[in-house]
Amino acid sequence: MSETQRLSWLPFLKQPVPAGLREPVQVAAFELAQGASCPARAEIGPGMEDEAWELLPEGEGWIVRGGRRGVLYGAYALLEALHTGRKPWSGLQKPFYADRMLNCWDNMDGSVERGYAGRSLWFENGGFAYDPKRIRQMGRLFASCGLNVLCLNNVNVHWPAQRLIADMLPKLAEFAAILRPFGVRLMTSVDFSQPMRDGVPTADPLDSRVQDWWNVCADRVWAAIPDFFGFLVKADSEHRPGPFTYGRTHAEGANMLARAVAPHGGKLVWRAFVYNCQQDWRDTKTDRPCAAYETYAPLDGQFDGNVILQVKNGPFDFQVREPVSPTFFAMPRTDLALELQLAQEYTGQQIDIYAMPPMWDELLQDLPPQTVKAVAAVSNLGRDANFFGHPFAALNLFAFGEYAWYPCVRREQIVRDWVRLTYPDLPDGDRAALAALLLDSRHVYELYTAPLGLCWMVSPNNHYGPSPDGYEYQAWGTYHRADRSAIGIDRTGGGTGYAAQYPDALRARYESLDTCPDELLLFFHRLPYDYVMRDGRTLVQRVYDDHFEGLARTEAMAETLEALPLPSPDREEVLERIGRQRTDAREWCDIINSFFRRFSGAEDAHGRRIYP
């Protein structure tokens, strides 16, 4: 099957978007012509906002009316409504978040950091190397779910990615031109110390030579790409350069860059992922989840207006289960972006099925959508024929776009829509079974992996599969400190004090054993193995039960999938991967159970086999 036939959730758009179309409205017309089952036409609504749209009935069909980009979003919305059988939305539609960003961790050697869908779609051998047809197909996927910013290179800026905003700008502009008809603007990750490669003797953000260098750089970038979105920066984190080298704050560092891009209407996106990655494991005072808040909360109000501070959903790093990051509540005078990770780094690596909408629903219960001004996600895309490694991983990109447009969307609806769009020929009952399986997949994954919010029981470095003590004595600040009596870190006021970073209601909920959710119990509390949970089971018995259940439900998922008449090659890919997931789930189940039994000495109450 050729690449262009892998159309993901848009199987009804079989004709690739032609290279000649320059404006979103042209793409809209092209897509409606081939995809609509009724008369439909697209038109620019005079005076309408860029991204706004509305659907107007006209005879047996529809007019899609919208702003420059909105008309394309409206066209896809109509097509999706028609192909799912839903009633098209009425009324003027606008995105909840103006900036809906995808961060790609693509390196210019063609590798993708934490990429699980093959090599980079656009880099190879230190330069651009892509099939424009695939890039246009990707642009179509983005526009169909409303994503509008693409950061195309890794936040860890490895040489020669610095050249993207220097001598490789013409190539960057060519790439931008391919995505422009889809309403997608480009962003690049930049190296905070890049001026020093050009002979500036420092990267001190308060040094005028540094400011001048970035000013000239920005002039050059926007001259080449007038609708360029901005720069993304990872600074002072995991050995990246940053303002700390010069005794400057992250506000000073970000503002310097922000001032360079401001005259062009550019944004400066600064990642709040800063912690001590060379911690001494003996040190029980330093607690890594505290780090982002400690670094950034004092800076609230100091960032320029075009700075976006991008904060990961949780205080660690995209674990299966983390509480919401307290930094979100501590910076009311700062434009924050929520950062999610579609790449399944710690969540099964696009081998194990892990649909994210249920996780985001839970997150948004604690994080009201208006708390942040923008959203970003680490991409799960790659050069694999199906773009995503696992065919079902496409759901996470689709769903991210939908949440970014309208965060109050229901997870059930997103999953149902994606299944309906992706597999139009699947019988109703099978579609329902698949949707149920996807909606349950994150819970299943959580059941068989690190229990009760412990995090980090994963194999070091590659982050796939269990290694319960793998990070225990390392420098990453990721400890559970299991011994023969107890496990977990006390993060209440009596412990590291992390919980005090939350607003009172959340703090009280997490600190009390009566109210702390079971799933976060060992994130916030250190507890003995024989601690009695609210349901009367001991903690260790709960761990055993969850793990046996997670394995059993994975087996059941495999049976469901075996019986599901998915089209080829999705069926073959899905069955191959569920086989690996079964192996993975069995490893997790047996190793975590053994680990807890070795420490606790507790036998399973139901006599199931736990290896010695």
Q: Report the residue number, 5 or 459, with the smaller CB distance to a second copy.
A: 459
Within 149-299, strands assigned E span: 149-151, 185-190, 230-233, 267-271
In terms of Cβ atoms closer than 10 Å to its own Cβ (0-12, 13-18, 19+), residue 559 is exposed
* Min separation Cβ 325 and a second copy, Å: 27
- In the set 54, 80, 99, 317, the catalytic residue is 317
- Closer residue to a second copy in complex, CB, 298/579: 579
- Specify the residue, 40 or 457, whose C-beta has the smaller distance to a second copy: 457
Binding mask 575-594 for a second copy (x = CB under 8 A): ------------x--xx--x
Q: Interacting stretch for a second copy, rule CB under 8 A, among 36-44, 110-118, 363-371, 465-473?
A: 465-473
Which of these, 324, 315, 429, lies nearest to 371 by C-alpha position?
A: 324
CA 65 to CA 379: how far, in whole Å? Answer: 30
Task: Output the smallest distance, CB 473 to a second copy, in A.
Answer: 5
Cα within 13 Å of Cα(275), Cβ side:
21
Under rule CB under 8 A, residue 59 binds a second copy:
no
Q: What are phi and psi of 419, to 5 degrees?
A: -65, -45
Classify strands 267-271 and 307-312 as parallel, antiparallel or unpaired.
parallel
Q: With CB under 8 A as the contact rule, which of the stretches 264-272, 278-286, 544-552, 559-567 interacts with a second copy?
A: 278-286
Tokens 């010695």: give the residue.
Answer: 612
| Minimum distance of a second copy from residue 577's CB (angstroms) | 20
Please state whether beta strands 374-378 and 486-487 pair in parallel, antiparallel, or not at all (unpaired): unpaired
**Selected catalytic residue, list 31, 345, 446, 546:** 345
**Interface characters, 531-570, with a second copy (x: CB under 8 A):** ----------------------------------------
Inter-residue contact 452 to 543 (CB < 8 Å): yes
In sequence order, which ranges of 449-538 are alpha helices (DSSP H)? Answer: 504-511, 521-524
Q: Least distance (Å) from a second copy to the CB of residue 594? A: 7
Region binding a second copy by CB under 8 A among candidate stretches 94-102, 112-120, 398-406, 481-489 = 481-489
597: contact with a second copy by CB under 8 A: yes
Helix (H), strand (E), coil (C) string for 461-484: CCCCCECCCCCCCCCCCCCCCCCC
Amino acid sitting at position 42: A
Cβ 540 to a second copy shortest distance, Å: 12
- Site for a second copy contains 284 (CB under 8 A): yes
Listed ranges 56-64, 502-510, 550-558, 599-607: which one lies at the site for a second copy (CB under 8 A) = 599-607
Q: Which of 128, 130, 281, 406 binds a second copy (CB under 8 A)?
A: 281
Please select the residue that binds a second copy; options are 466, 477, 488, 550, rule is CB under 8 A: 466
Q: Measured between alpha carbons, how far is 25 from 542 in angstroms, rounded to an integer?
A: 56
Kind and range of the H or E run holding 123:
strand 123-124
Q: Which of 468, 477, 488, 550 binds a second copy (CB under 8 A)?
A: 468
* Residue 317 annotated in active site: yes
Task: Examine residue 99 and tell whether it contacts a second copy (CB under 8 A).
Answer: no
Angle made by CA atoms 364, 405, 377, in degrees to the nearest 5: 65
* Contacting residue, 469, 530, 572, 603, with a second copy by CB under 8 A: 469
Nearer CB in complex with a second copy: 349/600: 600
Return the SS3 of 201.
coil
Question: Which of 87, 239, 282, 333 is in the footprint of a second copy by CB under 8 A?
Answer: 282
Burial of 207 (0-12, 13-18, 19+ CB in 10 A): middle
Paired tokens of 75: 């066209």
Tokens for 549, please give them.
């259940």
Looking at the Cβ atoms of 12 and 281, the one nearer to a second copy is 281
The CA dihedral of 349, 354, 356, 362, to the nearest 10 degrees, is: -120
How near is the Cβ of 603 to a second copy at its closest, in Å?
12
Cα separation, 70 vs 146, in Å, equals 9
**Residue from the set 410, 473, 508, 512 that interacts with a second copy by CB under 8 A:** 473
> Quick one: 405 or 596, whose CB is closer to a second copy?
596
Catalytic residue among 167, 198, 227, 238: 238
Based on the shown chain and the rule CB under 8 A, indicate whether residue 109 belongs to the binding site for a second copy: no
Residues 483-512 that bind a second copy (CB under 8 A): 483-485
Angle at 143 between CA 140 and CA 147, to 5 degrees: 130
For residue 223, the 8-state DSSP code is H
What is the DSSP code string of 119-188? S-SSEETTEE---HHHHHHHHHHHHHHT--EEE-S-SS--TTGGGGGTTTHHHHHHHHHHHGGGTPEEEE
Question: Which residue among 481, 512, 559, 572 contacts a second copy (CB under 8 A)?
Answer: 481
Which of 418, 588 has the CB closer to a second copy?
588
According to DSSP, residue 176 is labeled H
DSSP string, 314-365: SSSSS-SS-PPPGGGGS-TTS-EEEEEE-S-TTTTTTTS----HHHHHHHHH
Count of residues of this chain found to bind a second copy when the rule CB under 8 A is applied: 28
Nearer to a second copy, 386 or 600 (CB): 600
Pick the stretch among 276-284, 285-293, 317-325, 574-582 that binds a second copy (CB under 8 A): 276-284
Cα(295)–Cα(291) distance, integer angstroms: 6
Among 161, 482, 522, 566, binds a second copy (CB under 8 A): 482
451 contributes a contact to a second copy by CB under 8 A: no
Smaller CB separation from a second copy, 267 or 480: 480
Q: What's the rounded Cα separation, in Å, for the pair 499 and 477?
A: 17
d(CA 135, CA 386): 13
Based on CB atoms, which residue is closest to a second copy, 442 or 525?
A: 525
* Contacts to a second copy by CB under 8 A: 281-282, 284, 460-461, 466-470, 472-473, 481-485, 587, 590-591, 594, 597-601, 611-612
> Which residues are tagged catalytic?
238, 317, 345
